[in-house]
A and B are shown apart, each in its own frame.
Chain A
Amino acid sequence: MSGSGKRPLAPKNREPFGPAAPLPTMVDLDCIRAAQRGDLIAMSDLMDALLPWVGRICGSIALDAGPDAAQETLIQVMRDLRNLRDPASLRSWVRRIATREAIRHATRRRREPPIDDPDRLREAGDPASADLPSAGTPFGARHASDHPDLRHDIAVVLGALSADQRAILVLRDLEGLSESEAAKELDVARGTIKSRLHRAREAFRQRWPA
């Protein structure tokens, strides 16, 4: 797929990123309940299981502020875990906290100039920016398996979007939520989700064209 022809779009009825990432099987309900009772080992196991997933939500929405957002998410999760009535709802509960914390930290960080913006780096004459994608500069479709820097490139493209746009992309195209679920998660109307998602995808493709 690398560098030749059009990037294949996900066919209908295929999940864009495969099935929504499940929590690792080690996090069974018994582990969650033990963690709720204050079992430190179970709490640690639960955190180990949540970390990669929380890290991806926070990293994709908050970018540079991702580590702070992820830590704040885990603090809230651990602090309030014992009040979670239905252990089976852990995933959606954690996702809601992670999404909100990521948007909050990203918005706060937004006042600072983005350090990875390729156009800014080019203007500054940074040689490391030479191979970064830029708005309106197609470089073809690539996947992580054939390009080790792909994750960084995607972060650069995401950095040109607003935190709200990144959040809707993460919830819809990464987590696989429905529009109504995403609307509930972000506490906005369904119509807002639809238009925000359209703009977010359009903005992403302008910088990551086929």
Chain B
Amino acid sequence: MNSDTPDTMTGDPPIDVGSGTWPVVEIDPVAKLRALAAGIPLAVVDEALFDVPFERFWDFVGDLEKSTPRIEGSVHGVRILERRGDDRLRLEIRTLIGTRDEFEVVLRPGYCIMQSGRAVVGMAARPEGPHRTRYFHFEGARRFRWFLRPILAWNIRQDFRRLRRLLERESDPTGRA
């Protein structure tokens, strides 16, 4: 330990209540992603409440192959190329104009980050009571950040609208929502 041990320096022994007993706080996925977004230069962030239970919300959003083409207007298809461990993926995303981009992904309940050579994306959700979900989303460009920032911001607003409509439709058994 240190050269000036507690006993010798103050004359009284250290507090010993056993290891691992001090209070610990945990950070939920939304708080974690907020912190992560703070480290992405010129990242565009957005956050909203959805009137959907967390489990149903993440069942939909976390199914990247199915949900991403429906939420992201510019995406034509998503294919999982590789699964590594419990939470790592490699994805290929094809856009409507025919370009392809490969993403490294970390996917856990309520938490997803994606990174390619061109872009970074983060999605996180946490329950707000039994019937609502808080959703946080960020996107950032690797290059031309100033130029692409307003486009990303507009894109995220559109994604949120689409996501809200899709979730309403999913929860309406008649499919008319």
Contact = CB atoms under 8 A, between A and B. Distances in A.
Nearest to B104: A41
A18 B17 CA distance: 11
A70 interface: yes
Interface stretch (A23-31, A58-66, A85-93, A117-125): A58-66
The residue among B23, B27, B36, B41 with the most chain A CB atoms within 10 A of its own CB is: B23
A82 B34 CA distance: 17
Interface in A99-127: none
B152 to A, nearest CB: 15
Contacts of B17: 143, 150, 154, 208
The residue among B4, B10, B22, B36 with the most chain A CB atoms within 10 A of its own CB is: B22
Contact of B36 (A43, A143, A169): A43
A18 B19 CA distance: 7
B21 A143 contact: yes
B19 A17 contact: yes
Contacts of B40: 38, 40
B25 interface: yes
B5 interface: yes
Interface range for B:
35 or more
A181 B10 CA distance: 15
B13 A144 contact: no
A177 B6 CA distance: 9
Contacts of A76: 38
Contacts of B20: 144
Nearest to A36: B39
A178 B32 contact: no
Interface string A47-84: 10001100110111011001101110011111101100
Given A43-B39, A44-B113, A58 B22 contact: no
Nearest to A8: B16
Nearest to A146: B18
Contacts, number: 153
B14 interface: yes
Given A59-B22, A154-B21, A194 B10 contact: yes
B23 A158 contact: yes
Contacts of B106: 41, 44
A198 interface: yes
B3 interface: yes
Nearest to A176: B1
A71 B38 CA distance: 11
Contact of A16 (B4, B16, B38, B120): B16
A173 B15 contact: yes
A40 B38 contact: no
Contacts of A177: 2
Interface in A134-156: 143-145, 150-151, 154-155
B35 A71 contact: yes
A155 B15 CA distance: 14
The residue among B1, B17, B26, B106 with the most chain A CB atoms within 10 A of its own CB is: B17
10 contacts: A12-B7, A16-B14, A18-B19, A60-B23, A71-B27, A144-B18, A176-B1, A198-B10, A198-B12, A201-B15
- CB-based closest 10 A-B pairs: A78-B39, A74-B35, A66-B25, A143-B18, A178-B2, A16-B14, A59-B23, A59-B25, A144-B21, A173-B14
